[in-house]
Structure 1
Amino acid sequence: MAHRAETVPRATWAARWTGALLCLAVAVIHVLDQGGITATRDPYYVGVAYHVLEVAAVVAAVLLLVGLVRPGWLLAVGVAVGPLLGYVLSRGPGLPGYSDDIGNWTEPLGLVSLAVEGALLLLSVPFFVRSVRRRGTSRAAARQTGR
């Protein structure tokens, strides 16, 4: 088990590192957007959502790097989808008590965020699906061999 890293294909390692770095980039972008780690955006629920996203992004990165790929990729999907949805809602119809960004589709940091989150989504969904399929295949093989 100590040599587990050697049995992981290089492409998988590269994907996990890329996913981890993209998760961390999402966290950094949102820390910058809120004005720092200790700052909280208004309204309060948006600020809390930012903090939850930042923590989730760091946890996803750690999970991917330590080899817990299924929960890591699943959380990475959430780290990508959550802010994408928030961007569309905050710029489109607006959010309750938060209408500052309605129509502000071309904010530079927002566009960077969209690019990073889009890349993370495109990377994490196939790898999560692959991890689920691999688990199903290994369970079926175990049943056939009587384990």
Structure 2
Amino acid sequence: MTTPATRSPDEPMQPPAAHPGSTAARLIDQHLLTRRITVALSLAVIGAIHILDLPGKFAETPYLAFAYIGIIIAAAVLIERVLVVGSRIDFLGAAALSAAVIVGFVINRTVGMPMAMGDIGNWLEPLGLLSLVVEFFAIWQALVAALVYHRRAR
């Protein structure tokens, strides 16, 4: 078993050393597994929403289409990281990506972006609303997972 001083940042911490097979440790691991799956599914939906909106972005505002591609790639990488490694930093990365997408959405709907002023005030677009709901959910799930992970590591 590795200690905090000898483990790499990507290596998941082990359950509490006193009783790794205890009921409490198993419950924490089950809780984290549920959060990992939930965060991964949320990231997949975020990626899918941006894939659906991508053709229109290439036609309207190509630079935003490339930002969408960045979101899609980042979501795919984070899905893999959350499911395979599942470290605290992976959960924080998922929360950060979701928060960044929300910030971009709010900027686009309030002051607009260069060559993209048509969406100012368009808060009720169905795909945009779905995206916001999923992104807030992803932030919530990822931050709770990071907190549980942090508590488990102590």
TM normalised by structure 1 equals: 0.78
Q: In structure 1, what is the equivalent of residue 48 of structure 2?
A: 28
Q: Distance in 2 between matches of 1:25 and 1:126?
A: 19
Aligned ranges 1:131-146 → 2 under 5 Å:
131-132=149-150, 137=154
- Alignment partner, residue 124 of structure 2: 106
CA shift for structure 1 position 20: 0.3
Match of 1:9 in 2: 29
* Contact 1:84–1:114 (Cα < 8 Å) also in 2: yes
Contact 1:23 1:79 in 2 (8 A): no
Task: Say yes or no: does 1:118 pair with 2:131.
Answer: no
Q: In 2 relative to 1, CA 14–101 (structure 1 residues): closer, same or farther, beyond 3 Å?
A: same
> What displacement does 1:26 show?
0.2
CA distance in structure 1 between the aligned counterparts of 2:86 and 2:31, rounded to whole angstroms: 16
Contact 1:31 / 1:54 at 8 angstroms: preserved in 2? yes
Task: Say if 1:21 and 1:41 are closer, same or farther in 2 by CA, change over 3 A.
Answer: farther
Q: Which one of 61, 74, 84 corresponds to residue 43 of structure 1?
A: 61
2:112 paired residue number? 94
- Give the 5 Å matches for 1:53-72: 53-72=71-90
Higher helix share: 1
- Bigger drift between 74-83 and 51-60 goes to 74-83
Letter of the structure 2 residue corresponding to residue 40 of structure 1: F
Superposed CA deviations along residues 24-64 of structure 1, whole A, max 9, x for unmatched, are 1000000001128xx73643321111111101111111111
Query: How far does residue 134 in structure 1 lie from its aligned partner after superposition?
Result: 5.0
Give the drift of 1:75.
1.8
Distance 2:55 2:69 in 1: 12
Alignment gaps of 5+ in structure 1: 138-147
Percent identity over the alignment is 32
Distance 1:41 1:127 in 2: 38
Larger relative contact order (Cα-Cα within 8 Å, sequence gap ≥ 6): 2
Give TM-score, length-normalised by structure 2. Answer: 0.74
Runs of 4+ in 1 over 6 A off after TM superposition: none
In structure 2, the partner of 1:144 is none
- SS of match in other structure, 1:40: helix
